[in-house]
Homo-oligomer: A and B are copies of this chain.
């Protein structure tokens, strides 16, 4: 990516990333074309390639800026807080992320579905490290009898799965619910009940 110096560079770089997110998230890496991205960004294809040297570089720039946002809610789970409330607010933040950034969620889902060809280092690195760290905290909470004993890694998987489902399978969710439903507004109390019941000690 061109280091933005002028206002016009700043604006075009942003437009390309925004368009790339739109197109990559709904068609996958291979399914997306530079023609589409350029059109959505309101630029010509050669002009797009003036800002980013290749299709790959647009995609990688998107993945890069995605990871931090994605890990942030888990990173903020406070080891000194109340165990169940900490998990519940993690769930809520993750659900809000799905609601507010569904395209980012689908971009990520697409990448993992294909076996994470370009993101594996991040998953085996920062992501795994953060999970390992939080597993220690969850395990302590369970040992102290402050939440039910469940497999802590799978607890984290269940949070990812249940919240991301609303963004990733949006088409199915909305069709099955039918018109006049707000999936996220309904999911919030449902997930609250689910995790509260599951994690209640004893």
Listed in ascending order, the chain A residues whose CB lies under 8 Å from chain B are 26-31, 106, 109-110, 112-116, 120, 123-124, 127-128, 131, 148, 150-151, 153-155, 157-158, 160-162, 165-166, 168-169, 171-173, 175-178, 186-187, 189-190, 193-194, 197-198, 200
Query: Which of B116, B151, B175, B194 contacts A186, CB < 8 Å?
Result: B151
Q: Are A127 and B176 in contact, CB atoms less than 8 angstroms apart?
A: yes
CB-based contact A197/B148 at 8 Å: yes
- Among the listed B124, B161, B166, B193, which residue makes an inter-chain contact with A165, where contact means beta carbons less than 8 Å apart? B161
A175 and B27 contacting across the interface, CB-CB below 8 Å = no
Which residues of B have CB within 8 Å of A166?
157
With A109-B113, A128-B176, A172-B112: A194-B198 Cβ-Cβ less than 8 Å: yes
